[in-house]
Structures are given as C-alpha cells and as structure tokens.
C-alpha cells in the first residue's frame, strides 16, 4: 500500500512527507515544553492526517487517449479507487447494492467501499470493460461478499429491466441502487453534435436511470436508498459538453423530485456531484486534450480528485445513519463548483 501510494503521489509527496515528519518532531519538542506554553493537553498529530493538496498527482498529465469507454487499467497514472486504502467498519452489513458503471471510476470506488462495509454488490458495465470489471469482482469476493457481474448496454430498456432482475436474483434482493454510469463526449460546437450523439447521451444518462428506477422500485423496502452521480456540470456547464451538461442537470432534478415522491415510502434519494475526477471517462473523449493535460489544475486544490476520495460519500448516503438526508446533492470538487 505504501509503495503504491508513493508511486501515485510522486516525488513531491515524498518530500512533503519528510517535511511532515520533521514537523511532527517540532510538535513533540513543543509538547515537552508544554507546561510553559500551556500546550501539554494538545493532542498529537493524528496518524491519518493527510494534506489534500499533496495527496495525489497534479497536472501536467501526459497526453493519452483511449477509445470509448476506456479502461482504468490503461490510464497513466492509474486512478486510485481505494483498492489498498478503504477500510470498512460494518456500515452496510447485509445490504444489497446494484451499481451501474461499477467497473471503474466512482462506481468502482463505491463498489469496493460497499463490499468492505459488508454489502453484497452487483456491477453493470459495457462488455468492452471486462478487464476492469474482473478486478472489481475479485476485490468484492476478497471481502467474502457476493459479487455479481452483469455486462450490458443501458441504452436499451429491455436490458435495464433484465439488469435489475438479474441483480435481485444474484444478490437475493436489492436495497441500494446507484445510478452512476454515464456517457460524456466533447463537441466543440453544437453543429458537430449529431442527433445520434445527443440520443446516446440522453439514453445513457437520463433514460437508463428512469428505466432502472421503475424496475427496481417494486423490490425496494423502506430504508432502501437510490443514489445518482450527477456533476458540477449540472450547475456550471462547460461549452463543449452541451448534451452531457443537460443530462447532469436532469440527474440533479431526478434526485430532488424523486426524493419527495419516495419519502413517504421510506426510500431516500440523494446525489453525488463530483468535480474533475481522474477516470476513464475523461481520457476516452470526455475531455479535450488541452483540458486533460491540465486536468483539475484550475481547482483550489490544483489537482483532480481520485475516485477513492468519493467512495466514503456513497457509503454515507447509503448508510442508515444518514436517515434524515434525502433530496440532497453532495459535492466533491476540490473547492470549486456548486453541487
């Protein structure tokens, strides 16, 4: 774990760590003279204290391009989905989750975190993503949880229905639905955006959650949750993401409307609105090369987020501890954007 993180974080981080250890020394020295400065009761620096500005790689990133939908395993640097870092504490024991786009990115981070919190997990992904999906299935099984892999294209209503049925069958029920899959392709001008493009984005990002929700609802008992991955694009859209941004605004409205509708049934609906996160979506046509090279550089943290940094948000929204939260959108955008 140590090695992997050091690889991910690069040399800057190692220097920062040394500085941090040096800083700890000063802290200890200060504590020894505590009575004089009245800091005897000051707690030692927590072992898990991490500087978010230095935790992960910063731009510039190497140019890279993959065919849609892309693989996390082929990205440079490889994204961190919490494979070696996420520690569970039984927050979702016995729960049953279906996560779309669970092979990579935020969906994978949620899948790993859910399994480590004690949930059984079904993931959906496109057949081309089998190599990423296999890794996730192995990680879920390693936790001793049921892992169900259901590849298929969400743009088909019939598949969405089958997906829910197979997940329910494989898991023995369903109480967490995470509508996370999405299509994002940049087009500089609306004139370059074909009706087929527009349709594919709408089908994946708007129709699929609608179809999946209808299919899942009869299985969801009180206490169940639905989580949507929306985006800062819902409220601060980029010019070159005209179709995608509209779908993310739709996802946010989905959360706020459905939460009201399902509250009396005891089903909570919440959303996660990420900022720039280092995932295959961005290197397979989701960002221009110029944007990719400086990805996340314009956030106050000066870097993109890693999927691992959002896993705990999906856990929190699914957990019964959050029982008074519904219709909420939780942002994670490195200091910029509005959820």
106 binds, among Mg ion, ligand NAD, none (CB under 5 to 8 A by kind): ligand NAD
Instruction: Give yes or no: 7 in active site.
Output: no
Which is nearer to ligand NAD, 236 or 321 (by Cβ)? 236
Which is nearer to ligand NAD, 98 or 154 (by Cβ)? 154
Which is nearer to ligand NAD, 17 or 161 (by Cβ)? 161
Q: Does 271 bind ligand NAD (CB under 6 A)?
A: no
Which two tokens mark 183? 């299509």
Which is it for strands 120-125 and 268-274: parallel, antiparallel or unpaired?
Answer: unpaired
Q: Does 331 bind ligand NAD (CB under 6 A)?
A: no
Stretch of 17-25, 26-34, 120-128, 136-144 lying at the interface with ligand NAD (CB under 6 A): 120-128
Q: How far apart are CA 108 and CA 123, in angstroms?
A: 9
DSSP H or E run through 121: strand 120-125
Kindly write down the DSSP assignment for every residue of 133-152, as one continuous string.
Answer: HHHHHHHHHHTT--EEEEE-
How many angstroms separate the Cα of 181 from the Cα of each of 117, 298, 299, 326? 22, 25, 24, 21
314 binds, among Mg ion, ligand NAD, none (CB under 5 to 8 A by kind): none
* Cβ 100 vs Cβ 179: under 8 Å: yes
Closest CA relative to residue 34, chosen from 44, 46, 20: 44
Closest CA relative to residue 144, chosen from 90, 220, 223, 106: 90
Q: Does 246 bind ligand NAD (CB under 6 A)?
A: no
Q: Does 243 bind Mg ion (CB under 5 A)?
A: no
Q: How far apart are CA 22 and CA 27, in angstroms?
A: 9
Which one of 125, 244, 314, 330 is the catalytic residue? 244
Q: Does 103 bind Mg ion (CB under 5 A)?
A: yes
Stretch of 95-103, 143-151, 153-161, 249-257 lying at the interface with Mg ion (CB under 5 A): 95-103
Residues acting as catalytic residues: 244
Where does this chain bind ligand NAD (CB under 6 A)? 69-70, 100-101, 103-107, 124-126, 129, 153-155, 180-184, 204, 229, 231, 274, 276-277, 279-282
């Amino acid at each position: 774990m140590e090695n992997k993180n050091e690889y991910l974080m690069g040399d800057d981080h190692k220097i920062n760590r040394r500085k941090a250890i040096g800083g700890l020394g000063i802290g200890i020295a200060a504590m020894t003279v505590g009575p004089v400065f009245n800091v005897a009761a000051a707690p030692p620096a927590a072992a898990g204290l991490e500087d978010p500005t230095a935790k992960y790689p910063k731009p510039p990133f190497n140019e890279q391009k993959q065919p849609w939908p892309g693989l996390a395993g082929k990205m440079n640097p490889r994204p961190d989905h919490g494979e070696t870092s996420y520690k569970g504490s039984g927050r979702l024991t016995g729960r049953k989750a279906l996560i779309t786009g669970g092979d990579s990115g935020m969906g994978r981070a949620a899948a790993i975190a859910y399994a480590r919190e004690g949930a059984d997990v079904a993931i959906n992904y496109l057949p081309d993503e089998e190599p990423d999906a296999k890794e996730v299935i192995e990680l879920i099984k390693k936790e001793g949880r049921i892992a169900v892999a259901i590849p298929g294209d969400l743009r088909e209503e019939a598949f969405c229905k089958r997906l829910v049925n197979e997940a329910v069958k494989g898991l023995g029920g369903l109480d967490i639905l995470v509508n996370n899959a999405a299509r994002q392709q940049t087009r500089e001008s609306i004139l370059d955006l074909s009706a087929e493009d527009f349709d594919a984005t709408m089908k994946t990002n708007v129709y699929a959650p609608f179809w999946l929700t209808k299919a899942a609802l009869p299985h969801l008992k009180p206490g169940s949750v639905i989580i949507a991955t929306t985006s800062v694009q819902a409220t601060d859209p980029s010019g070159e993401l005209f179709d995608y941004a509209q779908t993310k605004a739709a996802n946010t409205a989905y959360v706020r409307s459905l939460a009201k509708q399902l509250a009396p049934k005891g089903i909570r609906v919440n959303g996660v609105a990420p900022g720039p996160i280092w995932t295959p979506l961005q290197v397979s046509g989701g960002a221009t090369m110029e944007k990719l090279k400086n990805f996340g550089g314009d956030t106050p943290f000066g870097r993109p987020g890693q999927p691992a940094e959002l896993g705990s948000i999906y856990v929190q929204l699914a957990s019964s501890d959050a029982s008074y939260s519904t219709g909420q959108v939780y942002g994670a955008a490195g200091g910029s954007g509005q959820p």
